[in-house]
Structure 1
Amino acid sequence: MLNDWFVSHPSNLIWVVLCTAVLYLVVVALARWSGVRSFAELSTFDIVVTIALGSMIASVVVSKEPPLLQGVAAVATLYVLQLFVSRLRSRFSVFEKATDNRPILLMGPGGEIKHANLRVARVTEDDLRAHMRRANVSDPRQVQAMVMEGAGNINVLYGEHHDLGDDPWILRGVRDYTR
């Protein structure tokens, strides 16, 4: 019935409020325990954890299946996994390579567009122009490097104050960067 879409039994509303409050407290406590990285989207793995957390919380809050305790256990497990994987990533490069997308050079020094990399990253020249405008760059020749990071954001290094020198530390590990 149409009425069921708008009206709920008071016990269902109490359940939603209770679950939301409990999961809120659990997430805040786990985020404080695991550190600020728990909300960062630095790697593919971090993004997956963020999406999974949202989905789990929503599932527990809006239905009685899974039960609240199972939802808390699932959320806690994701935080522990994220902490464990982040520690493995910092100690072993094989874990870093398995969980992270490598940054990719989209535009090199002097505004040289890397067309093959644009295809790999599924980025258009219009996207590059939009990011240049966002970075307040009006002349592509000012660009020293435009990099799509592993999490999908694009950064623009530009201008004379960004002379990268002979061995730019900031671009180590960026796919196809050569000077």
Structure 2
Amino acid sequence: MMSDWLFSGAMPLLWVGFCTVALYALIIVFARWSGVRSFAEMSTFDIAVTIALGSLMASVVVSKNPPLAQGAVAVATLYALQLGVSRLRCRYRTVEAMADNAPILLMGPGGEIKHENLRVARVTEDDLRCHLRRVNVSDPRQVHAMIMEGTGNINVLHGDHHDRSDNPWIMQGVRDYEARPTFNTQRA
């Protein structure tokens, strides 16, 4: 019947409401416990955890399988994994390299387009123009660097306040950026 398809009774609706509130509260508690990084999308792993949390919440809320207790354990496990990986990333460069995408130089000093990097990043020149307009750059020659970060965000360093002799630390790890001496930022 059409009414069964639209409305299955009060108990299933109450269960959906209860599960939604319970998982929401649990995610808030774990997010506060693990810190602002929980939804920062700073690495590939952070993005994966955010997506998994959304999918997990939807699965638990709208079905009886998995039950709420399994969903709660899965949420706790995801946050524990995220916390563990973020701590390992801070301590070991190899873990950081495995968990993060490296930033890519899309446009170099003076507006020099890095066509091979555009291909690798799957970015078009139209995308570059869009980002330049977004940051109020009307002359690409003002660009010191346009970088696609590991999160997929594109940042533009531009203007007269940038000089090629600026502190190179900010560009450390960017694919195809001209190598210069850097500060000692060694980790184990």
Q: Partner amino acid for 2:71? A: G
Find the aligned partners of 1:56 and 1:96 in 2 and give their Cα distance: 26
Cα distance between partner residues in 2 of 1:20 and 1:2: 26
Distance 2:39 2:56 in 1: 15
TM-score (norm 2): 0.92
For 2:86, the equivalent position in structure 1 comes to 86
List per-residue Cα deviations over 1:19-78 (Å, max 9, x = no partner). Answer: 011001100100011000001101101000000010000000011100000000001100
- Aligned mates of 2:4, 2:98 — CA distance in 1: 47
Alignment-derived partner of residue 70 in structure 1: 70
Q: Following TM superposition, by how much is the alpha carbon of 1:3 offset from its aligned partner in structure 2, in angstroms?
A: 3.0
Match of 2:120 in 1: 120
The number of residue pairs the alignment matches comes to 179
CA deviation after TM superposition for structure 1 residue 7, in Å:
1.7
Alpha-carbon distance between aligned partners in 2 of 1:65 and 1:50, rounded to the nearest angstrom: 21
- Quick one: distance in 1 between partners of 2:177 and 2:59? 44
**Could you tell me how far apart the structure 1 residues matched to 2:66 and 2:15 are?**
13
Q: Within 2, Cα distance between the matches of 1:114 and 1:14?
A: 56
State the percentage of identical aligned residues. Answer: 70
1:163 alignment partner, SS class: coil
Amino acid at match of 1:153: N
User: What does residue 27 of structure 2 align with?
Assistant: 27
Find the counterpart in structure 2 of residue 6 from structure 1. 6
CA drift of 1:169 comes to: 1.2
Which residue identity does 2:151 align to in structure 1? Answer: A
Aligned to 1:101: 101
Inter-partner Cα distance in structure 2 for 1:4 and 1:95: 51
In the other structure, the counterpart of 2:42 is: 42
For residues 177 and 50 of structure 1, the distance between their equivalents in structure 2, rounded to whole angstroms, comes to: 31
Please report the TM-score for the alignment, with normalisation by the length of structure 1.
0.97
Distance 1:18 1:58 in 2: 13
Q: For residues 139 and 33 of structure 1, do their structure 2 counterparts lie closer, same or farther at Cα, with a shift above 3 Å needed?
A: same
Supply the RMSD in Å over aligned alpha carbons: 1.1
Deviation at 1:108, TM superposition (A): 0.3
Q: Distance in 2 between matches of 1:5 and 1:153?
A: 43
Aligned to 1:177: 177
Match of 1:151 in 2: 151
Of stretches 166-175 and 34-43 in structure 1, the one that deviates more from structure 2 is: 166-175
